[in-house]
Structure 1
């Protein structure tokens, strides 16, 4: 394995054969994606507990860096719904400064993941975990939007951050429903849902925001309806890029925020690589996963310095880019430029967008994220997968994503080890070995006869801590005391410390009972591990045989001496 850092931005690879025609299609795709990203960036920013322009700043800064340095040709980066719950929780507990520190740390972790070539490892996170917390996030996002969908007022009562607490408060104050707000939300949802039937190019969220914002403006100006909140009623919008500010790092805050930073990094890595993999399947390309992680990390280091929030690859915007002809990172760079122009020259118009309309946009986002068809399909899978799915889902909804990811990964690891244990077999042979079933016999005999009092223990699979315990259990169940035990390890790809400890104990106990131990078919990798551990000093080098023939011959020799 090379020690060289795997950093190969796709932009520099593609420039060798880039043409004017390619630029034209990328330019058009970038403009469309930039327009699509606008309402989502504003909605994600507000839902996360920050101001609308911070969502756009994230899409500009992080989107540019992810396209410029990333390992995917078509990945579009920016704020996503997956981070809403985490960001909101951090701001509630640690403020904006805490969010900046957590995002910076997550960025550093992502860079380290890429440097240490963990891009391929991230892909092996079990699918039920990904579906579980994605569906859980969708339910949580939907829950956070109920107040704006129905225009609820809470008479000074603070809405708690947890799922159950929110619904209890909603239930107590549901008599305060503002039906004008509800009408705006439902109209927005309806427009977003039907737009694809008329146009695949124009995003429904943009159509809804333009139509509904204009309608609400006319209702306020000429209909005297003033009870519909807009962005301008709640936020003061700054139409400019803020100055770069590096936060002061407090050691206590760093320690407290580290688990959250790990969650942001893991979630960002999973979402970005999942998005890049989906894109590869559509355009017939192959992304550089480690390069993508490094780019994501740099984006999350730079973005918070300019007031941004965590960012990652966005599947919906990436697919929009592909569907509109984008085939290089230039489209993503153009998308960031379009958003910058909108921020500088058109952002004041955003103050007229109704909050209920943005809530409708996020209701659709949560529905699309939920993947309920996939969720139901996974419920028919083996019980272990269903268990991981449901536990991850309910932990995400009832507690938070940090707990869900930690517990979900732990359960997945335990189930993986359990499955490895189930596939690793330990068999006992006492009489003869059939050469027709053996691959390491060098003689052509009908059978290989074992001397009386000799037992062969065949281990088929990795010899790690779970199997070591299983091996001990089989030995104790047999309860006999042979003269010689041949432990056949030709199908053992690796051995860990517990396996070595188990073998050492077996040799010590056997020596006390005058039972001779012989190892057979140890591969080079396992051989080196046993040699470094000092195991051979206890067993003796002459009791390590390259194949079963040598081991059985040595057993006959030992029996003959007695």
Structure 2
């Protein structure tokens, strides 16, 4: 493909990813309902944005900036009418190690790099393939992320500063030791109180924003009572000035793994959230490639204003749908409302206790985990339970990227094992044809037909070789290939090796019913070339049987009994005495 052709294709695809006039037709249906939904989501999103900003390490302002900028850009350019984007707990899990190693500028660089990757995925039209991630992997790292987020809140909930550790669980353990040495009950009481109000209130009145109510109550209590509580601190009024001072091309190589992890997480969480939103609504269908494009632009722009990498948020999107949103106007209203809060109420936001935000996230982690779904997966099969447990454990003990890689690797191995088990080698009987019963019995003592069912690939090929080369001593073997579902290079080579071993034992091998695409693989790798030259590859099984009988009648030594009947000496046991049969099947020729 020439550079000019590639440029034209990219231009056409980019045009298809940009907003269209028809996208905003839904706004005219019920703008008032969308405005109300957007304001509702903003109330829910405010404490979450502050909490995730603090947890990320860049501060509460970074969380607000992300909710405003990423929320607006993703709403305009994304592929879902209902999606709400901003900072999320899963993203902070990836970002905490980055800020510890590379500082704030490293986080901003990772955001830009992840945005470029997401835009590339959208141009390559890879959005549809994210849905193939196995459910046990998704549920495993979701539960693991919930535990990690909860562990991240332990220092703030206990009112401890300066806790150390290489992993989040180590930091939480150090915070617990420091708290035991010098306990302060106020922070933990505030954190647990906020979490309890959110969880109990959601069961009582799901429509009310209990997170904001609980945080406001905790802030008022901290102002009136002489409690020793750490606060968010002063926040600048307004959005930060755009800046590219964080760019450092020398750090790109070291940041690539983190950027890929952020891009993968943003793609996965956004597309899963959009799928959930479609299921909760009527006649809504998101465009996965446009959604990736919108998330890519959001992550490309947000770091310029000092925001952290963002993705769509399932919790906020669900609130948006339940509030009656029907167009992109709702998500855009949510971003505008948060921008107004930044401009007007920044001094009030700065007085919020950190322990209250820790309580918000503790309650959020409880909501993230669906115990019934985890139990159902654990009981469904041993393979799913293993993938679920491994992904969860590695997420908590190591990191998210390693967890997804381990989970996917184990899932692929188990899937290949399951597919390999469907491959079978079955002996099938021969039809009598025009021969007499005595002659047919004689011929079946020297001819055996095997049918290959299922895939002949690297996962099953060697088992097939073992079975085939252990057949009884016969003169002719017919391999019926019409039911082979797939064959790869390993399978082809193993088939060739089996044919060679049989021929060395003096057995004639015939092939029948090879599919055209399998024929191409075998021919390209030079498998069974001698059989083709000798005319021992046939389009169907009856033709192969006819050739086998003719060949056998001409090659067997003949001796005559007194009555003049032709007989051949028995050289093999009867067909049903073969040591490697799997039960006779009805003879279906193809």
TM range (shorter): 0.7 to 0.9
Measure the CA separation in 2 of the matches of 1:518 and 1:480: 16
Matched, 1:103 2:111: yes
Residue equivalent to 1:468: 461
Residue equivalent to 2:64: 56
Q: 315-324 or 140-149, which moves further after superposition?
A: 140-149
Residue equivalent to 1:261: 259
Q: 78-87 or 527-536, which moves further after superposition?
A: 527-536
**Is the contact between residue 110 and residue 255 of structure 2 (CA under 8 Å) also seen in structure 1?**
yes
Residue equivalent to 2:134: 126
Match of 1:186 among 192, 195, 199: 192
**Is the contact between residue 463 and residue 495 of structure 1 (CA under 8 Å) also seen in structure 2?**
yes
Deviations 1:118-172 (A, max 9, x none): 3333212221111111111111111111121121355xx5344341453154135
**Is the contact between residue 150 and residue 181 of structure 1 (CA under 8 Å) also seen in structure 2?**
yes
Cα distance change, pair 61–552 in 1 and its aligned pair in 2 (3 A): farther
Matched, 1:454 2:452: no
Residue equivalent to 2:208: 202
For 1:518-557, list aligned pairs within 5 A: 518-535=510-527, 537-540=529-532, 542-557=535-550
Matched, 1:215 2:221: yes
Measure the CA separation in 1 of the matches of 2:205 and 2:297: 36
Measure the CA separation in 1 of the matches of 2:479 and 2:246: 60
Matched, 1:559 2:552: yes
Cα distance change, pair 206–511 in 1 and its aligned pair in 2 (3 A): same
Cα distance change, pair 493–119 in 1 and its aligned pair in 2 (3 A): farther
Measure the CA separation in 1 of the matches of 2:532 and 2:523: 11
TM, length-normalised to structure 1 = 0.87
**Is the contact between residue 424 and residue 461 of structure 1 (CA under 8 Å) also seen in structure 2?**
yes
**Is the contact between residue 426 and residue 471 of structure 1 (CA under 8 Å) also seen in structure 2?**
yes
Residue equivalent to 2:569: none
**Is the contact between residue 484 and residue 517 of structure 1 (CA under 8 Å) also seen in structure 2?**
yes
**Is the contact between residue 44 and residue 81 of structure 1 (CA under 8 Å) also seen in structure 2?**
yes
SS in 2 for 1:426: strand
Measure the CA separation in 2 of the matches of 1:7 and 1:518: 56
How far the C-alpha of 1:371 sits from its partner, in A, is 2.2
Match of 1:496 among 488, 492, 499: 488
Residue equivalent to 2:370: 371
How far the C-alpha of 1:249 sits from its partner, in A, is 4.5
Q: CA RMSD in A?
A: 2.8
**Is the contact between residue 79 and residue 309 of structure 1 (CA under 8 Å) also seen in structure 2?**
yes
Residue equivalent to 2:407: 408
Measure the CA separation in 2 of the matches of 1:484 and 1:116: 52
How far the C-alpha of 1:65 sits from its partner, in A, is 2.5
* Stretches of structure 2 lacking an aligned partner (at least 5 in a row): 1-8, 434-439, 556-590
How far the C-alpha of 1:243 sits from its partner, in A, is 0.8
Residue equivalent to 1:68: 76
Measure the CA separation in 2 of the matches of 1:331 and 1:434: 75
Matched, 1:273 2:271: yes
How far the C-alpha of 1:319 sits from its partner, in A, is 0.7
Deviations 1:314-361 (A, max 9, x none): 111111111111111221122222222222332232111111110110
Matched, 1:37 2:8: no
Deviations 1:239-297 (A, max 9, x none): 3233141754545x434333333322222222212211111111132222232223223
**Is the contact between residue 468 and residue 498 of structure 1 (CA under 8 Å) also seen in structure 2?**
yes
Residue equivalent to 2:361: 362
Deviations 1:398-442 (A, max 9, x none): 11212211111110111110111122322233x32699xxxxxxx
For 1:285-364, list aligned pairs within 5 A: 285-364=284-363
> How many residues are matched?
536
How far the C-alpha of 1:197 sits from its partner, in A, is 5.4
Measure the CA separation in 2 of the matches of 1:488 and 1:336: 64
Q: 12-21 or 493-502, which moves further after superposition?
A: 12-21
Matched, 1:27 2:35: yes
Measure the CA separation in 1 of the matches of 2:118 and 2:449: 48
Residue equivalent to 2:159: 151
Measure the CA separation in 2 of the matches of 1:434 and 1:51: 84
Matched, 1:86 2:86: no
SS in 2 for 1:379: helix
Measure the CA separation in 1 of the matches of 2:397 and 2:471: 50
**Is the contact between residue 24 and residue 328 of structure 2 (CA under 8 Å) also seen in structure 1?**
no
TM, length-normalised to structure 2 = 0.83
Q: Which has the larger radius of gyration?
A: 2
Q: 190-199 or 383-392, which moves further after superposition?
A: 190-199
Measure the CA separation in 1 of the matches of 2:425 and 2:532: 24
**Is the contact between residue 30 and residue 332 of structure 1 (CA under 8 Å) also seen in structure 2?**
yes
Q: 419-428 or 530-539, which moves further after superposition?
A: 530-539
**Is the contact between residue 11 and residue 329 of structure 1 (CA under 8 Å) also seen in structure 2?**
no
How far the C-alpha of 1:548 sits from its partner, in A, is 2.0
Measure the CA separation in 1 of the matches of 2:195 and 2:95: 25
